Structure 1
């Protein structure tokens, strides 16, 4: 058996968890000063050593910034923090949409080309199912339509059979989901249905060059809707 003895959770870890939850719920806004170590020590009824350890952990995660002699302040995280896996997508700024869509223009075309060469027949069948669901939910269930859209692109990442590419797609989709209310209301379902249909046909033909060209046009068209 691989069971190991349990360890008591340190006080600093408990404090860190409570403060982190408050930060993610928006209790303190970006740039706002947190209570002092002395005040936190009084609130939690622990030593300042435990408070300092908790603050250091939050600083290492990119959630706060500690300034010598001035205290700890809420930091505005960005997409680089998400790439490190430390910040949930709900905590990102609107600038993340520009960054991730700019990245898509460089990334998704070549991935689609590679995916066309490596996709299994089962994956192509799954792509067809997702496309049909996109069509059927376009006017009846916009949330499900959006989910199919994300899954379609995620499937392309998986079709490349490269764990690094899959990981990047997961990060990209997290940011896109966090900004989707803006995206969906701007582009509507028709654009996605059009380009995903063209991609599906190109993947069926195993036409790698066409997959790249269509994907490049798809992400460029979406980009131009937001940043003309």
Structure 2
């Protein structure tokens, strides 16, 4: 495909706009190589320096990657949830988003996923979930990680890529405070495992309403425990500093 010449006064932004449009409407697929800098400069009617500036902006946005070597050049990026995680992480830090706000967002995502999973979960996915809830007792740190692995499998069983990408990004942001929370409340892991077993039974029955209800109770209890644990931690630090 050919790009169209751009106005010199807005060259870089128009180059970015045309390349974005070509990617989003499918003219270039993930992994496809874009024209060379020289060829794009010819098509756009601008200098290679301006093309290079536009490509840098597109690379920073995660839309393309510029490779070096014999097969180097600009390529359309393949979907990578790490880009979403990094962008969301920056946004969360700038806004001062709290752990509890992330927990509420997670609640909304997982309730939707729970209902869909009850309708769409495969036998293989059910077997994986059973393995997690029926496996041997783990160490405190392993247990905290495996609890989130369970929820990741639940969201994956909803077979909705948008939900899975958003949840994966959210998981990365809550992982560290989640580990801290489980260190503060070791009994939480066993309580969570019991609820997870109930949830798996709801999936086995293909009962979406029950699955959503169990997940709501579970995550609401988690939020309450988290708030209590962090409040106790703050009080301890305050008394220690007196």
TM-score band, normalised by shorter chain: 0.5 to 0.7
Match of 1:224 in 2: 224
Tell me: CA distance 1:92–1:3, structure 2 relative to 1, closer, same or farther (3 Å).
closer
Q: Does 1:206 align with 2:217?
A: no
Match of 1:180 in 2: 178
Task: Give 3-state SS (helix, strand or coil) of 1:179's partner.
Answer: helix
What's the offset of the Cα at 1:95? 4.4
What's the offset of the Cα at 1:92? 6.8
Tell me the TM-score normalised to structure 2 length. 0.54
Tell me: CA distance 1:106–1:153, structure 2 relative to 1, closer, same or farther (3 Å).
same
What's the offset of the Cα at 1:105? 2.6
- Please list every run of 5 or more consecutive structure 1 residues that lacks an aligned counterpart in the other structure: 8-52, 62-81
**Which is higher, the Rg of structure 1 or of structure 2?**
2
Tell me the TM-score normalised to structure 1 length. 0.57
Question: Contact 1:131–1:148 (CA<8 Å) still a contact in 2?
Answer: no
Moved over 4 A (4+): 87-95
Match of 2:114 in 1: 112
Aligned residues: 154
Alignment of 1:47-62 (within 5 A): none
Q: Does 1:162 align with 2:138?
A: no
Q: Deviations over 1:170-207 (max 9, x none)?
A: 01211121212322124431221121111111111111
- Please list every run of 5 or more consecutive structure 2 residues that lacks an aligned counterpart in the other structure: 1-31, 38-52, 62-81, 229-242
Question: Contact 1:117–1:206 (CA<8 Å) still a contact in 2?
Answer: yes
Tell me: CA distance 1:212–1:178, structure 2 relative to 1, closer, same or farther (3 Å).
same
